[in-house]
């Protein structure tokens, strides 16, 4: 297997060879073809079969060289969720068709999983797919779909066998977002913005060739997707005061007239918690680097959500009158969440989403309790009954 | 009779509540509310008319000789509860509580009667974040009866006919009634965190006021108004918390996940039960604060500090649970939780945050830092 | 029905008539016979069939007159739990035999309900009672029995029909604590003291005449007992700073050298919470007086437990080094709990029991959630199965 | 290499842990512990012998030339974790941490070697509630090398052979080694909140000491010892919290109520999961503090303040949950939870309560009041 030094040499050669390229897309395609996109992917699919741990150094070197970026913020769902699933379950043709334009950013992906009636209980979903020759006809409604309004493709889980127990009657597809019958509507949220969408699927025809995994095996495929979502969250390196605590700490330092004794101890408590969360993430990164992926990822997401909420609540209390004043409620379509540029009220409201999106804190606590602590599961009333007979 | 004897609701209060709730249920639907709050007219004028002219809600704490019903702040607090429950945009707090309390204190009979009858509305020109019990600031200066200065973040001032303004004059503070619709008064709408309660910055540039009281009396009127506002805000917070709990419970009874109503899971169940315990305390604390201001009880300052320290935190917690336990839809613009969250958080900032009230309490009950 | 004034006259007459009595027991017996023991009880059983709300004034007047007391702290279980149950379910003979010496304090009662395997889930209890002619033979182990070592009688719930579902196979008895086969052992607790006992029942023979309620109807009878326990708790009138908060507030005032900024805000938070709890209790008393018994009693117990725990925790933090030093760990048998006379460490430890004894906080939260808020019950796996087949 | 690179356990540390855990599992059974703690000999001398002589636990942070193993405070922290897990009564904290840290700082080679080898034990004569980072107090005065004064609530001093005493002399502070068994030293046992860790008041009445260091060096040695003690106490708190969580989880898997294991109810489940999240943070924070003192990192003061503010609260919460979720038996003398509760609460008071550490932190990270 490739060593870190050999890999570094290859990156250096690539950078030198493409030094004078003006064509960003061409550069990214070439980088993919050289196996330097995601080095742990197979040769021919943007990788070199190298250890995953070598990727950060590669990215850092390209960044340092000022190389064109594939804008990972914009194509996060493709990179983090669609790609590993296509890699794991896709046919040769599917991998070759989808992975390259996914990685280069030519094609944006979104995720059609959650439904109004199936959020935490994703396996209850009811979007129907009925086979019709070489195609499937899909009807239903999905929700909380970020980037749907810009996406070319979607990963989609459907119900194909309502008469089976819920975990056994699902099938997983890749859905063409430009296909007739796909309607995307913005979903406005408490902040006034719409990061997300509702997606209505009405008689959408999907070729069987766009199925991922076996018919009826959609739950397993979806779990692969979601496992990769969990890994993607919460592991980022941060300096001390790097998160939201830094904003309020700076306000505290710069505006002594706002300080009160009661808020002081609360600020210090949150400062300590933020530092604890930071050290925990640092420890998690060491574990991942040492190849011991622990369940601390869920812990990090739980802690991050609570911290953001508590800190932004404190910030409003500190600002008092200024906290009563907001910047704007305009309906916008932001491409990503930025906690630093908007008003404190925005931070406060947006942080409420942190314990709902990507798995509610309640669900994550269940995951920790059952999978980590090994506490017994609740009595299940929905495991063996046919999906169609479940109360909803 | 001690204020602790007035913690229950009288039959009259229950009747009053029921009338107001019927009205609000009809007029303040979620759809109507959402349609209204982003317009230039967040208040529903018809609602305000019925509330003041038919129900007489604005005159509850005004005596009968001034066109009120001669009830008290306790009955007014019941109105606040219901307005909180519905997050109804009305100028009730500014006009029927803050301005009315100030005008009562200076015996401004005619104007008081106008407010009590709903013929006019008013607001007290102070920042909504002013802390009762803290030293009053006077951002407006009076030269003769000509006023100059800027007051920021005034509640319910956008639609007010009259502004009650405490200004610093050469001989000390003076309380004025200022017609809002005159050249020397500019009202600048503020984008407020709580869309259902608009705030306004008011710039006085040579506005003409009518002096109502001077010196200590003016100062005391302002202090009383803030104390009354803070006391009654606790009742609004009670209404907010109650509705957040009730609507969450209702949702969790019908929402199914994993083949069960989500309200059958013990995690959220215990949280909601604990919230109910806290809300039972909010009710007692808010009733006590209202009873104290109604009776001008010597314990009023403590009662209000306790109420604002306690009720703010529980109302915010209730709204936060309402958002969280509604899951995804709790975070959407189309559902009610965000409106309650914004109101609850804004109310917590209004009239002083809990920590500021605890600091005041420390002095009142001899627990020095 | 008797008016308050008429009753007051009677009390006055009684006090005058018995002014010179030296015989405390005789006095109490006479008071019982005059119907002035618990005025809402029937005539002939210590009462006058008067409204319950009139009792406090009667008690206050006897106290003011310096009359002998029946020491309600010592006979609380008899007064609060056994008596209402005997009244509700007892035969004429049983009421006449037991209520008078119970009220006068001649006979102390205890409660044999909880078992090592049946705490929160009381209905799971397994102490067996098997009929043998006119008697029942009882075998089993009870726990958390206060006053068992001083008690003459016990209220006892047993399992008589293991083959029935658990709520339907119980029978309720009055057990003679001096009978052969009753063994009482002190149960030492975290404080070092033993307020409670374990009670071992080995072949204890109970006459059928000591049964309360029908055979198999023990659960209904027990619920009557427990309902009265709930009412008894948490309604006491208290002045501001009357509870544990007063102790720590006084320490704060008297010892400025201990103060820190962080503890100040925490103290004030708890002061506010204590005041909120006090006002809530005051409101509850008004409700009870107005004949609207609300579920706020459970709320009061929950709040009281948490407050005591938080305040005593703060007190130790405030005292710092002194908190590290304890008074004593001697094994004692206290007759009642007194939070004021022992060291802060005792308060801290004893308060931990407040959320366990008399219904854990978790169970009370369930009660509030289901009975007050009307939230749906958990799926029950133990309702219809025979008791003997349940996992334990 | 930054201290954040040392947050994991090395293989050596895991091996060390496993050896100690085996020993403690065998020697510190609940029955043995309960039998011992109310006697005059709460320490198990055999346990201490094996720990020091066979495992070399007392010499981990001592270099090889002084009879130690030349490891570091990080390895010592692993021992503290295991001692916390078992609430084992040993003089490890007093002798192998506090006294050793002080002696290391003043290069007191011979005595250090005695401690490292387990031939003698020592303690640092300071109150267990002393706050690292706060100004040092010297309750003992030195006249020549004769010591007079009283130090209260000293940890692990009852069985110590040597007392390390910082005393105020005419020319500034002096650090002494004082033989404990001499006429001028009276040790009075204290009834301690944590029965598994006895405290002692020490009265010096003309005791003779051997000066180890003077002036700034003496002061620095004391400060270092307290900082090291506080840093490593975080690891003990980690062990306490872990055992409380694990034993509670184990209990809740087997305890049945309502026909189900109580651990299947979501209420306690969510609380235990949240506790696990907090304990994962305690682990990171405690490891970081140990890594900082091991490397004498410039960030040590912040790391220790964070560790003591955070770990104290979580360990206490873990112990409180352990009591509560064991239900009735959690409140009995015969079961383990109360021992952990007492240790956790005592540890929270030791070396400064969380609020005192937050106040120190405020200065360190420029967040003034």
Total CB pairs under 8 A between chain C and D: 139
Task: Please state, as a whole number, how many other Cβ atoms lie within 10 Å of the Cβ of residue A388.
Answer: 13
Q: How confident is the model at residue A233 (pLDDT cuts 50, 70, 90)?
A: very low
Most A CBs within 10 Å, among B328, B340, B343, to test the A interface: B328
Cα–Cα distance measured from residue A211 to residue A174, given in angstroms and rounded to the nearest whole number: 6
Strand pairing partners for C154? C110, C175
Interface of B with D (CB under 8 A): 265-267, 269-270
pLDDT digits (tens, 9 = 90+) for A188-217: 999 999 999 999 999 999 999 999 999 999
**Given D4, D253, D355, which is nearest A375 (Cβ)?**
D253
DSSP H or E run through C112: strand C109-112
Are the beta carbons of C283 and B272 separated by less than 8 Å?
no
Q: Which chains touch B (3 or more CB pairs under 8 A)?
A: A, C, D
Are the beta carbons of A280 and D306 separated by less than 8 Å?
no
Residue D308: name the closest of D365, D280, D347 by CA.
D347
Strand pairing partners for B179? B162
Q: Using a CB-CB distance cutoff of 8 angstroms, which residues of chain B are in contact with residue A144?
A: 328
Q: Using a CB-CB distance cutoff of 8 angstroms, which residues of chain D are in contact with residue C345?
A: 193
Task: Kindly report the nearest CA distance between residue A188 and chain B, in angstroms.
Answer: 5
| A297/A120: higher pLDDT | A120
For residue A92, pLDDT beyond 80: yes
What are the structure tokens assigned to D311, written together?
A: 């770990």
Chain A within 8 Å of B327 (Cβ-Cβ)?
yes
Q: Using a CB-CB distance cutoff of 8 angstroms, which residues of chain B are in contact with residue C372?
A: 273, 276
Most B CBs within 10 Å, among A190, A353, A357, A376, to test the B interface: A190
Please give the average per-residue pLDDT across C286-297, as a whole number.
73
pLDDT computed for residue B59 by the predictor: 96
Task: Kindly report the nearest CA distance between residue B305 and chain D, in angstroms.
Answer: 22
pLDDT computed for residue D40 by the predictor: 85
Q: Using a CB-CB distance cutoff of 8 angstroms, which residues of chain D are in contact with residue C382?
A: 258-260
pLDDT computed for residue A295 by the predictor: 72
Q: Using a CB-CB distance cutoff of 8 angstroms, which residues of chain B are in contact with residue C374?
A: 249, 253
**Given A264, A368, A375, which is nearest D264 (Cβ)?**
A375
Cα–Cα distance measured from residue D187 to residue D41, given in angstroms and rounded to the nearest whole number: 14
Where are the extended beta strands (E) located within chain A?
A: 109-112, 128-132, 135-142, 153-159, 170-176, 182-187, 196-207, 211-212
pLDDT computed for residue A235 by the predictor: 44
Chain C within 8 Å of D271 (Cβ-Cβ)?
no
pLDDT digits (tens, 9 = 90+) for C164-209: 999 999 999 999 999 999 999 999 999 999 999 999 999 999 999 9
Task: Kindly report the nearest CA distance between residue D298 and chain A, in angstroms.
Answer: 14
Strand pairing partners for D214? D174
For residue C237, pLDDT beyond 80: no
Please give the average per-residue pLDDT across C227-235, as a whole number.
55
pLDDT computed for residue A359 by the predictor: 87
Average pLDDT over all residues of chain C: 93
Do the beta carbons of residue C350 and residue B255 sit within 8 Å? no
For residue B356, pLDDT beyond 60: yes
Average pLDDT over all residues of chain B: 96
> What CATH code would you report for D220-364?
1.20.140.10
Q: How confident is the model at residue B190 (pLDDT cuts 50, 70, 90)?
A: very high
**Given D264, D277, D282, which is nearest A378 (Cβ)?**
D264
pLDDT computed for residue C206 by the predictor: 98
Please give the average per-residue pLDDT across D100-111, as a whole number.
96
Count CA atoms closer than 13 A to D139's CA, side-chain side.
15
Cα–Cα distance measured from residue D236 to residue D174, given in angstroms and rounded to the nearest whole number: 30
pLDDT computed for residue C63 by the predictor: 94
Strand pairing partners for A154? A110, A175
Can you tell me whether residue C219 is helix, strand or coil? helix
Strand pairing partners for C157? C172
Lowest-confidence segment of A221-230, B29-38, B132-141 by average pLDDT? A221-230
> What CATH code would you report for B11-120?
1.10.540.10
pLDDT computed for residue A234 by the predictor: 41
pLDDT computed for residue B192 by the predictor: 96
pLDDT computed for residue C235 by the predictor: 44
Cα–Cα distance measured from residue C187 to residue C195, given in angstroms and rounded to the nearest whole number: 7
Please give the average per-residue pLDDT across D344-357, as a whole number.
97
Please give the average per-residue pLDDT across C57-84, as a whole number.
93
What are the structure tokens assigned to B364, written together?
A: 């009142």
**How far, CA to CA in Å, does D85 sit from each of A306, B64, B227, C186, D275?**
28, 72, 53, 29, 16
pLDDT computed for residue C339 by the predictor: 87
Interface of C with A (CB under 8 A): 261-262, 264-266, 268, 378-379, 381
Are the beta carbons of C280 and B274 separated by less than 8 Å?
no
pLDDT computed for residue C232 by the predictor: 46
Do the beta carbons of residue C175 and residue C204 sit within 8 Å? yes
pLDDT digits (tens, 9 = 90+) for B236-290: 999 999 999 999 999 999 999 999 999 999 999 999 999 999 999 999 999 999 9
pLDDT computed for residue B141 by the predictor: 97
pLDDT digits (tens, 9 = 90+) for B282-334: 999 999 999 999 999 999 999 999 999 999 999 999 999 999 999 999 999 99
Cα–Cα distance measured from residue D307 to residue D91, given in angstroms and rounded to the nearest whole number: 22
pLDDT computed for residue A237 by the predictor: 64
Chain C within 8 Å of D240 (Cβ-Cβ)?
no
Structural domains present in chain A: 1-69 (no CATH), 71-229+380-392 (2.40.110.10), 244-357 (no CATH)
Q: Locate the domains of chain B by residue range.
A: 11-120, 140-215, 220-364
Total CB pairs under 8 A between chain A and C: 17
Cα–Cα distance measured from residue B242 to residue B248, given in angstroms and rounded to the nearest whole number: 10
Residue A119: name the closest of B326, B320, C375, B264 by CA.
B326
Average pLDDT over all residues of chain D: 96
Chain C within 8 Å of B287 (Cβ-Cβ)?
yes
Please give the average per-residue pLDDT across D212-219, as a whole number.
96
Lowest-confidence segment of A225-239, C77-91, D201-215 by average pLDDT? A225-239
**How far, CA to CA in Å, does C285 sit from each of C39, C224, C227, D99?**
19, 21, 17, 59
pLDDT computed for residue C112 by the predictor: 97
For residue A350, pLDDT beyond 60: yes
Question: At which residue do the structure tokens 């619920």 appear?
Answer: C223
CATH topology of domain B140-215: Butyryl-CoA Dehydrogenase, subunit A; domain 2 (2.40.110)
Chain A within 8 Å of B188 (Cβ-Cβ)?
no
For residue A333, pLDDT beyond 90: yes
Are the beta carbons of C261 and A265 separated by less than 8 Å?
yes
Cα–Cα distance measured from residue C294 to residue A194, given in angstroms and rounded to the nearest whole number: 45
For residue C294, pLDDT beyond 70: no
Do the beta carbons of residue A89 and residue A212 sit within 8 Å? yes
Please give the average per-residue pLDDT across D3-29, as a whole number.
94
Please give the average per-residue pLDDT across B147-158, as a whole number.
97
Question: At which residue do the structure tokens 């009811």 appear?
Answer: A126
Chain A within 8 Å of B330 (Cβ-Cβ)?
yes
What are the structure tokens assigned to A243, written together?
A: 């998160």
> With a CB-CB cutoff of 8 Å, which residues 340-369 of chain D face chain C?
341-342, 345-346, 348-350, 352-356, 358-359, 369
For residue D162, pLDDT beyond 90: yes
pLDDT digits (tens, 9 = 90+) for C311-364: 999 999 999 999 999 999 999 998 778 888 899 999 999 999 999 998 899 999
pTM of this prediction?
0.95
What is the chain A residue with the closest CA to D270?
Answer: A365
Are the beta carbons of B349 and A353 separated by less than 8 Å?
no
């Amino acid at each position: 297997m490739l060593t870190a030094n050999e890999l570094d040499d290859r990156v250096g050669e690539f950078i030198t060879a493409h030094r004078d390229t003006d064509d960003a897309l061409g550069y990214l395609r070439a980088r993919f073809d050289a196996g330097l996109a995601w080095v742990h992917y197979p040769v021919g699919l943007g990788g070199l079969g190298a250890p995953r741990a070598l990727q950060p150094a590669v990215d850092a070197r390209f960044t340092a060289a000022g190389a064109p970026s594939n804008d990972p913020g914009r194509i996060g769902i493709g990179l983090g969720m669609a790609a590993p699933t296509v890699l794991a379950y896709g046919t040769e043709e599917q991998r070759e068709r989808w992975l390259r334009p996914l990685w280069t950013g030519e094609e944006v992906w979104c995720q059609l999983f959650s439904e109004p009636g199936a959020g935490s209980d994703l396996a209850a979903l009811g979007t129907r797919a009925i086979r019709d020759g070489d195609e499937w006809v899909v009807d239903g409604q999905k929700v909380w779909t970020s980037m749907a309004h810009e996406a070319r493709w979607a990963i989609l889980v459907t119900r194909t066998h309502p008469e089976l127990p819920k975990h056994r009657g699902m099938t997983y597809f890749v859905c063409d977002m430009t296909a007739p019958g796909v309607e995307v509507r913005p979903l406005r949220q408490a902040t006034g913005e719409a990061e997300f969408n509702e997606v209505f699927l009405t008689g959408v025809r999907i070729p069987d060739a766009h199925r991922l995994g076996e018919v009826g095996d959609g739950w397993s495929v979806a779990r692969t997707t979601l496992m990769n979502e969990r890994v993607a969250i919460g592991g980022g390196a941060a300096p001390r005061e790097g998160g939201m605590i830094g904003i309020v700490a700076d306000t505290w330092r710069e505006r002594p007239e706002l300080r009160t004794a009661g808020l002081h101890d609360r600020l210090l408590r949150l400062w300590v918690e933020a530092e604890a969360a930071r050290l925990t993430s640092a420890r998690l990164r060491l574990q991942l680097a040492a190849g011991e992926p622990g369940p601390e990822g869920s812990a990090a997401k739980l802690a991050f959500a609570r911290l953001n909420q508590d800190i932004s609540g404190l910030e409003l209390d500190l600002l008092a009158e200024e906290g009563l004043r907001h910047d704007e409620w305009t309906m916008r379509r932001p491409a990503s969440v930025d906690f630093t540029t908007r008003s404190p009220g925005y931070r406060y409201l947006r942080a409420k989403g942190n314990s709902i999106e990507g798995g509610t804190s309640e669900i994550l606590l269940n995951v920790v309790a059952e999978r980590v602590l090994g506490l017994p599961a609740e009595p299940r009333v929905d495991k063996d009954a046919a999906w169609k007979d479940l109360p909803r | 009779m001690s204020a602790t004897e007035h913690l229950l609701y009288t039959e009259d209060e229950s009747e009053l509540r029921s009338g107001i709730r019927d009205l609000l249920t009809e007029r303040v639907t979620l759809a109507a509310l959402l349609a209204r709050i982003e317009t230039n007219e967040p208040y529903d004028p018809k609602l305000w008319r019925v509330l003041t002219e038919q129900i007489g809600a604005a005159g509850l704490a005004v005596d009968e000789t001034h066109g009120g019903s001669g009830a008290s702040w306790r009955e007014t607090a019941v109105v606040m509860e219901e307005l909180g429950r519905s997050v109804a945009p009305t100028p009730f707090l500014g006009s029927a509580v803050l301005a009315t309390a100030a005008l009562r204190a200076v015996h401004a009979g005619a104007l008081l009667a106008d407010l009590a009858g709903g013929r006019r509305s008013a607001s007290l020109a102070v920042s909504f974040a002013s802390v009762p019990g803290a030293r009053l600031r006077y951002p407006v200066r009076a030269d003769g009866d000509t006023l100059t200065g800027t007051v920021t973040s005034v509640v319910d001032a956008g639609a007010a006919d009259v502004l009650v303004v405490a200004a610093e004059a050469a001989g000390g503070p003076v309380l004025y009634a200022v017609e809002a619709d005159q050249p020397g008064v500019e009202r600048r709408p503020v984008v407020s965190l709580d869309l259902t309660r608009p705030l306004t910055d008011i710039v006085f540039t040579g506005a003409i006021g009518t002096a109502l009281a001077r010196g200590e009396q003016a100062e005391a009127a302002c202090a009383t108004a803030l104390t009354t506002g803070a006391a009654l805000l606790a009742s609004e917070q009670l209404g907010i918390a109650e509705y957040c709990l009730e609507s969450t419970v209702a949702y969790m009874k019908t929402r199914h996940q994993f083949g069960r109503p989500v309200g059958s899971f013990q995690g959220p169940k215990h949280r909601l039960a604990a919230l109910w315990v806290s809300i039972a305390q909010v009710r007692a604390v808010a009733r006590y604060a209202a009873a104290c201001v109604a009776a001008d009880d010597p314990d009023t300052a403590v009662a209000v500090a306790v109420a604002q320290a306690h009720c703010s935190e529980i109302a915010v917690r209730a709204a936060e649970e309402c958002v969280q336990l509604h899951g995804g839809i709790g975070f959407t613009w189309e559902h009610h939780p965000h409106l309650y969250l914004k109101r609850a958080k804004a109310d917590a900032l209004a009239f002083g945050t809990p920590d500021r009230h605890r600091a005041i309490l420390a002095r009142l009950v001899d627990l020095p830092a």
